[in-house]
C-alpha cells in the first residue's frame, strides 16, 4: 500500500533529484531552436548548459566523498560550495538570455528559475546537514 505524500519522509538525496531535474530542463530549453537560434548557441546557451552541468558534476563529486576525516569533509564542502556558486551563475546567465533574446515567456523563465531555486534550497539544506553531522571532526 502506498504512503500518502504528506506522510512521506523527505528524500535523503533530494539535492541530486533537484539538480538532475534542473539539468534536464536546461538542456531541453537550450537545445530548442524556437528558444535560442542556432547562431547564438555557441555564445549563450553553451555557457548556460556548461554551468548546469558543472553544478551537477560538483554535486556528484561531493556526494561521492566518504567523510572519515576533516580533510574529507573539507573536500566535500569545497565541491558543495562550487555547486552552489554555479547555481547563482546559472541564474545570472538565464537572466541575461531572457533580456537579450526574449524568446521565452515570463512563465517559462519563472519555472526555470524555480527549478534553480529548488536546487539551491535542497543543496543548502544538504550543506547545513553536513555542517551539523561533521561538526566534531
How do residues 57-80 score in pLDDT, each as one tens digit? 999 999 999 999 999 999 999 999
Contacts from 70-78 at CB under 8 Å and sequence distance 24+?
70/137, 73/130, 73/134, 73/137, 76/130, 77/127, 77/130
**Confidence at residue 11, expressed as pLDDT on a 0 to 100 scale:** 54
Render the burial of 49-68: b for 16+ CB within 10 Å, e for the rest. bebbebbbbbbebbbebebe
Cβ atoms within 10 Å of 9's Cβ, excluding its own: 6
Reported pTM: 0.87
**Confidence at residue 5, expressed as pLDDT on a 0 to 100 scale:** 60
Q: Which domains does the chain have, with CATH numbers?
A: 13-133 (1.20.1440.60)
Q: For residue range 17-34, what is the model confidence (pLDDT) as tens digits? A: 999 999 999 999 999 888
Residue 8 pLDDT > 60: no
Burial class (CB in 10 A: 0-12, 13-18, 19+), 29: buried
DSSP state of 5: G
- Angstrom distances, CA of residue 38 to CA of 32, 46, 85: 9, 11, 28
Q: For residue range 80-128, what is the model confidence (pLDDT) as tens digits? A: 999 999 999 999 999 999 998 878 899 999 999 999 999 999 999 999 9
**Confidence at residue 116, expressed as pLDDT on a 0 to 100 scale:** 98
Q: Do residues 101 and 55 make contact, with C-beta atoms less than 8 angstroms apart?
A: no
Amino acid at each position: 500500500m502506498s504512503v500518502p505524500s504528506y506522510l512521506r519522509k523527505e528524500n535523503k538525496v533530494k539535492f541530486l533529484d533537484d539538480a538532475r531535474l534542473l539539468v534536464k530542463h536546461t538542456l531541453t530549453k537550450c537545445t530548442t531552436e524556437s528558444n535560442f537560434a542556432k547562431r547564438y548557441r555557441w555564445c549563450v546557451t553553451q555557457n548556460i548548459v556548461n554551468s548546469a552541468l558543472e553544478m551537477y558534476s560538483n554535486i556528484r563529486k561531493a556526494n561521492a566523498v566518504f567523510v572519515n576525516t576533516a580533510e574529507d569533509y573539507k573536500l566535500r564542502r569545497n565541491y558543495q560550495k562550487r555547486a552552489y556558486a554555479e547555481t547563482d551563475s546559472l541564474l545570472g546567465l538565464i537572466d541575461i538570455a531572457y533580456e537579450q533574446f526574449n524568446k521565452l515567456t515570463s512563465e517559462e523563465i519563472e519555472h526555470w528559475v524555480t527549478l534553480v531555486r529548488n536546487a539551491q534550497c535542497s543543496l543548502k539544506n544538504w550543506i547545513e546537514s553536513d555542517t551539523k553531522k561533521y561538526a566534531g571532526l
